[in-house]
Amino acid sequence: MYSIDDLKLTAERVRNAIDRSAAASASTPAGGTSSFWAAMLGQRGNYPDINTIMVCRRAGAVFGIGDDPQGSIEREASYSARMHHIFARMVSSDFVAGLPETNFGSPLIFEHDGVSRSANFRMNAATTHRVMELLKLYGTGGPIRMLEIGPGWGACVHQLHQALDIESCTIVDLPENLYISTIHLGTVMPERRLEFIDVSGGPIREIPERSICACLPGAIARIRAQYDLVLNSFSLQEMSLENVTAYIDWIESVLAEGGIFVSLNSHGKAGVEEPSDYRYGKFHIHHWDVFRPSPPGFFNTIPYEVVLARRGPQSPKYPDEIQNSLGWLMQLGLDQDLRPFGKAMVSGSIEPSQHFLLSEYNRFFCANDDQARLRIIEALRPLDRTPIWPFVAANFALVRGQYDSCNVLLQEAGGRGLSGFARVRAEVLKAVLARKAGGRPSLVILDGLDPEFAYPEVAAMVSTGDVDPMIHHANRVLRRQAH
């Protein structure tokens, strides 16, 4: 039994290890705190004491890396129901039930489909399930040497240890977050030896078996071990470009032969302004697609799911303009309709016509003014017979206040078979415009997703006809200043 005294000793040990290296880590290229994370950390209490640690998952101490407080138990229950509705499309209740959730941090749990878990645990279970699928498709067999950069409060690390044969695990994070994840993992996994890698010292070529090794970003320069799985979900996108560059260069050096790097990130949130800033071309790209069929928030940035390996002599080139175009289009909600382009890019078999279309869409997103965009989108009209063209053109018409044209283009996109989350956004936009015009629209369940139940912002827009949030989102994706 793990006692309060044990927890106190673990917390003291973790804090001492962090304090030894925090200043030195902050001065390194990987270790600086981005402005995004400086603002995030400023909104919460950091390095919580024992009393707060015992309830950290309901006390706001994991804000930004886990359970964000909803304000009341009623709102927590509503949020849990909505997240279950969204994520049940990605991970079965049987899979969730097979992963034990510990009571560390006193999470708020709610029952859905006969399974009692916290909302954040279910969300992490969907990520864990997908990582397992990608490992099966592209990874190596046998015991896994795992590295996670930015593990949050450690949910995926714990879940993957329950589901896979993990030989060793290394976690890297900012001091304030590493404090939470390391105490959590050291508490709920007593069978694993908890170790720390300081910033100062010689090279480390092996990570001990059955260990969890924790370190601050400044310590990565010491690590020369090889990893079969490198995972980063939603944190490279929150770093400065200097941070990202340091991590990508390091990952290239520690990714084992046959290992995979799973990156679930977007752009436009912090230092990474466009997908090519990640420099994925340094690797062999196995796979590039949208992560999750629907995001937890209607206007959330949408991560692209990229699986990378060591680059080999037969690895194709992955043109920056193609990566960028796919990333921008994904932010509008396009997913299934982009899949043929993503598969062609990673296989090196992209056709000249596909390359041209994506290059022109990249020019569209990068254009400096609406007249330039208009010329590009009009030139693409006869060339792109997929649902992509009318959907992009509809969003462009929306931001210019051309609502009738927007409606017609959305109808055309639907007629061409628009699918996935883009179809959800299109149906929502049509309903909002209909309400704005005085109609009484209703939304139906699309591919198992009820948009008005899943997203309060959708329910509000449809009930009021307020199209401004849709315009604001489209302006942001189109890199366009509101006029």
Report residue 171 as tokens.
Answer: 């976690």
Q: Give domain status of residue 117, yes or no.
A: no
Three-class SS of 216-277:
CHHHHHHECCCEEEEEEECCHHHCCHHHHHHHHHHHHHHEEEEEEEEEEECCCCCCCCCHHH
Given a contact cutoff of 8 angstroms between Cβ atoms, the answer to whether 285 and 308 are in contact is: yes
- Residues in Cβ contact with 127 at an 8 Å cutoff, skipping those fewer than 6 apart: 156, 233, 264
- The CA distance from 67 to 4, in Å, is 23
Q: Cα(first)–Cα(last) distance of the chain, in Å?
A: 62
In the chain, which stretches have pLDDT less than 50? 483
389 and 245 within one domain: no
Q: Does an H or E element contain 409, and which?
A: helix 403-415
Task: Report the largest interatomic distance among the alpha carbons of the chain, rounded to a whole angstrom.
Answer: 71
Q: Is the model's pTM score more than 0.95?
A: yes
Given a contact cutoff of 8 angstroms between Cβ atoms, the answer to whether 189 and 212 are in contact is: yes
380 and 276 within one domain: no
Res 444: pLDDT: 86
Report residue 397 as tokens.
Answer: 């018409």
Domain boundary among 315, 337, 371: 315
The one-letter amino acid at 307: V
Of 412, 320, 410, the closest CA to residue 366 belongs to 320
Tokens 């990333």 belong to which residue?
327
Residue 401 Rama label (left phi>0; alpha psi -120 to 50; beta) = left
Q: Give domain status of residue 200, yes or no.
A: yes
Of 35, 40, 47, the closest CA to residue 63 belongs to 40
Handedness of CA 244, 245, 249, 250 (dihedral sign): negative
308 and 182 within one domain: yes
Report residue 439 as tokens.
Answer: 């109609």
Q: Does an H or E element contain 194, and which?
A: strand 193-197
- Residues in Cβ contact with 303 at an 8 Å cutoff, skipping those fewer than 6 apart: 233, 234, 237, 264, 265, 266, 290, 291, 292
Radius of gyration, CA atoms only, the chain? 23
Q: Give domain status of residue 405, yes or no.
A: yes
Report residue 133 as tokens.
Answer: 């699928």
Beta bridge partners of 168: 145
Of 375, 370, 378, the closest CA to residue 480 belongs to 370
Domain boundary among 260, 284, 315: 315
Report residue 184 as tokens.
Answer: 């959590």
Res 482: pLDDT: 54
Residue 371 Rama label (left phi>0; alpha psi -120 to 50; beta) = alpha
Res 442: pLDDT: 86
CA angle 425-429-432, nearest 5°? 140
- The CA distance from 435 to 464, in Å, is 7
- The CA distance from 88 to 93, in Å, is 7
Report residue 272 as tokens.
Answer: 């990474």
CA 321 to chain centroid = 22
Q: Give domain status of residue 271, yes or no.
A: yes
366 and 222 within one domain: no
450 and 371 within one domain: yes
Of 139, 323, 327, the closest CA to residue 230 belongs to 139
- The CA distance from 167 to 213, in Å, is 12
187 in helix, strand or coil? helix
Tokens 């397992």 belong to which residue?
132
391 and 469 within one domain: yes
CATH number at 24 reads 3.40.50.150
Print the domain residue range for 394: 354-477
157 and 21 within one domain: yes
Beta bridge partners of 4: none
Into how many domains does the chain fold? 2
407 and 288 within one domain: no
Report residue 456 as tokens.
Answer: 């309060």
Res 483: pLDDT: 46
Domain boundary among 289, 315, 341: 315
Count of other CB atoms within 10 angstroms of residue 64: 17
Given a contact cutoff of 8 angstroms between Cβ atoms, the answer to whether 321 and 362 are in contact is: yes
164 and 19 within one domain: yes
305 and 225 within one domain: yes
